[in-house]
Amino acid sequence: MQLKRQREHDELHAQWPCRGPEIDRLVGLLREPELGLPLFVHGPSGCGKSSVVRGVLDTLGLPFAAVDCTASCTARLLFETALNKLHRHQPCAANGYVSWSPCDSNAVFVAGIQEALAEQGRVCLLLEHAEELVRQEELLATLLALCAATTLPNGDGPSSRRSPSQRRLRRLRRGMPAAFQCSERVHELTLQEYSQDKPYLIQFRGKGDDYCKQMEPLKEQLREELGLDIRCFEVWYESKNLELLQKLDRGRCGGVPFFYNKRSRRFICGATTYDNLKAWALCEPCEPFLPPPNINQDNQPEPNKVQKFFGGLKAMAEEKMRRGSDEDDDDDDED
């Protein structure tokens, strides 16, 4: 049994990298039938919530019905879709395109779930886009109370062999929904890469960018003092590097330079001070936005001859306008 669980663990982690904590918690909650907790997994769109849950359920061998709450906009449609999948029923021409059972009431749906439990022992209902249920309070209340209502019929199965205290504990546990966040996948080092001392400090830069040039002496100072190298990715001419920047940035910075620490997952937007860069490199707390005090002066280019000429003309024109304004004021005072 222990070898089987270890094999399942390795398969899931290999299939979904960077999802170790979420997978382990899901497996721990879903493996034990005594818990029977309603789970709410939330996170950014496209971060793999449904796929990870499906993978865990498949690996554990748990029958489940996945229902999209956006497509199933009514309670009856949601109930009938779920029962069709749990009972492996496909509406088609041969059966007149009818569902496994018309769900005219909540009781019909609960009876269908109980029948699936009697046949398969245990089933799971996977509701995608479950936030849509907030608009249907009665449906949400029915689903949350479903765990307490779906005991095996006629006293058959494991529940009949439990003591009253065990059944009471099970009902209490069933009443506590569990929720955890599935964060967006980020670029990070594997354990093997850690052991091989792979670079974990990265910078995204643009060729010819003034702020990136300003950070070069600070990076050199960091290398001399601490022996830390920062791996650079050019994003203005390399589309793959730009995609990686967008994945790590997630709209927080939107430009270069962008510094990212794969160990601490801390980042810095734009040019910064040496002390802040050093704290970032040492995986210590740092400020995401802390420009150096001389950033504006350092990035002011020396004006050329043409710019100086037009600058002088502008100054002369402003001076004449000022004098004309003063003379008008004097005339008004005399009047």
Sign for the CA dihedral angle at 25, 27, 32, 37 comes to positive
Distance in angstroms (rounded) separating the CA atoms of residues 62 and 56: 9
pLDDT value, residue 95: 84
Instruction: Output the pLDDT for position 327.
Output: 63
pLDDT given for residue 300 in this prediction? 52
Predicted local distance difference test score (pLDDT) of residue 276: 93
The tokens of 233 are what?
A: 């990715």
Pick from 244, 183, 264, 246: nearest CA to 19: 183
Same fold, 2-181 and 199-297: no
Pick from 153, 73, 69, 67: which is nearest to 110 by CA? Answer: 153
Q: What is the C-alpha to C-alpha distance for residues 316 and 303, in angstroms, rounded to an integer? A: 18
d(CA 199, CA 185): 19
* Residue 96 neighbours by CB distance under 10 Å: 7
Q: Looking at residue 257, what is its pLDDT?
A: 94
For each successive 10 residues of the chain (335 residues), what is the average pLDDT?
72 76 81 69 74 86 86 83 90 86 84 87 84 75 67 44 49 46 50 57 92 93 91 91 87 88 88 93 88 64 62 72 65 57
**CATH number given to 2-181:** 3.40.50.300
* CA distances in angstroms from 138 to 133, 135, 172, listed in the order given: 9, 9, 22
- Hey, which residues does 232 pair with through a beta bridge? 203
Class of domain 199-297: alpha beta
pTM for this entry: 0.46
Contact 248, 185 (CB under 8 A): no
Q: Which amino acid is at 164?
A: P
Domain extent listing, the chain:
2-181, 199-297
Q: What is the DSSP string of 93-130?
A: TTTTT--SS---SHHHHHHHHHHHHHHHS--EEEEETG
Q: Residue 212's pLDDT is what?
A: 92
The C-alpha atoms of residue 106 and residue 126 are separated, in whole angstroms, by 18
